[in-house]
Amino acid sequence: MSQTYTLVNPYNNEQIGEYEYTSWTQIEEKLALLKTGQKVQRKTAAYERANVLAKLAGLLKENAEKMARLITIETGKTISDSRVEMIRAVNATIASSEEARQISGESLDSDAYAPAGGKIGVVCWRPLGTIFCITPFNFPINIAMHKIGPAYAAGNAILFKPGPQNTATSQLLVELCYEAGMPESVLQFCMPPLADLDKLNAHPDVNAINFTGGTAAANAIAAAAGYKKLLLELGGNDPLIIMDDADLEAAATSAINHRFATAGQRCTAAKRLFVHASVYDQFRDILVAKSAALVIGDPMDDNTFVGPVIHMGAAKEIRQRIEGAIEDGATVALGNQYDGAFVHPTILENVRANSEVMIEETFGPVMPLFKFEDVEEIIPVINNTAYGLQAGIFSNNLSVIRYLFEELDVGTLATNEGPGFRTEHFPFGGVKESGVGREGIKYAIREMSYTKTLVI
């Protein structure tokens, strides 16, 4: 008897649909099919893969509004946010198409070290085989195309597992991939029950795993995967630093966009704000005024900025984190209001450096403010977390920017921009428990390939 799961709209709790999990027998059939697809990919020239991805980009653009509405129905993300996601998904697909033509190795003379002279090493990049691509709920199409696009461009076969909440959206994406020309033997959708995931991650026909999600799930993947290649894009507890020379209006707008958009459910959200004491009061007042004016409500309304979080359980967890900070001495400058799966944008002051809301990743619209006098004093506070994804700073002082760039344990520091800055062709990833490897189309292609050398 097949197992099923039911999805509801987080905004109004209306049922979206009932779906069947993929059985283990079906999983093995899909992996066997993908193994034949690896042979298909070997015979598919780079320009042909590029053309398929270019066609897919066009199909995604044609279906952008339909997919954006599906994303909003499934996740509660605002329709304006979902439309931006579709623009980025199209860009990621275009970039994958372009990079498919640019995969190149190098030639090396062997005489650099005696006595190995007289030979040339021709270094080529080759696909790993079948990539198991696992995506989260918050950017179901964009993140999927940051995995499927480069995996296909590199010549791999792909087993695609989205977050269960994104079933309808992801199934539509796979249909469009087929329409663009990806063979079914090269791309397969699956939704295994949780109990089968360890077995799937360990399966010998899975050659690599590309996962975006939480640290606990990543630990389980790593434990099961053994010697498989892993590309893990995990959580973040990203700081935004406001220096005394900052453009406060721009900084406040960026803080809101990088924290309260997507109801704060981004790994690169500005989860902690460090504000120089000389501008703290002024910045706080601007930030609170702008945040209080945000429209909270129906995510299908074009004017809504903050919709619900993904489900009631997530809202409860965020509330507990906020209440814990208040018990530790924090005060509420704005928010701390709840309505079902809605968490109103919340700004906290007087937050202790060792409070859970400062150390752990909070996946929701809560913004703790931390006042500082000297930039050196915030380095240990910022680095005192398991994560190290990205950071942002508002300042035009190059010496301060360079100092922070060297001292912060992060993968990227964005200047006069929030920590959520990302573009398709930049490397993306962090240090510590923020992940292993780098995404960004060109870099992801390398992660999902291996070098093979011919000595002549």
CB 239 within 8 A of CB 284: no
CA–CA gap between residue 83 and residue 439 (Å, rounded):
22
439 is catalytic: no
Q: Rounded to an integer, what distance in angstroms lies between the CA atom of residue 179 and that of residue 175?
A: 6
Q: Where are the alpha helices (DSSP H) in 210-261?
A: 215-225, 248-259
Tokens representing residue 132 in the block: 């198991």
SS3 421: coil
Check: CB of residue 367 under 8 Å from CB of residue 348: yes
- What tokens appear for 17 in the block? 């649909």
Q: Are 355 and 324 in contact (CB under 8 A)?
A: yes
Q: What are φ and ψ of residue 240, in 5° steps?
A: -120, 125
Length of the chain: 456
Measure the CA–CA gap between 179 and 258, rounded to whole angstroms.
35
* Tokens 């309260």 found at: 260
* DSSP class per residue in 192-213: --GGGHHHHHT-TT--EEEEES
Structure tokens at 129: 């085989």
Secondary structure percentages of the chain, helix, strand, coil, to 5: 45, 20, 35
Q: Which is catalytic among the residues 74, 99, 233, 433?
A: 233
CA distances from 150 to 205, 441, 442 (A): 20, 6, 7
| Nearest alpha-carbon partner for 236 in 36, 26, 455, 418 | 418
Please state whether beta strands 346-349 and 331-334 pair in parallel, antiparallel, or not at all (unpaired).
antiparallel
Dist. CA 102–CA 121, nearest whole Å: 20
Tally of CB atoms within 10 A around 331: 13
Neighbours of 102 (CB within 10 A): 11
**Residue carrying structure tokens 């079948």:** 130
Active-site positions read 233
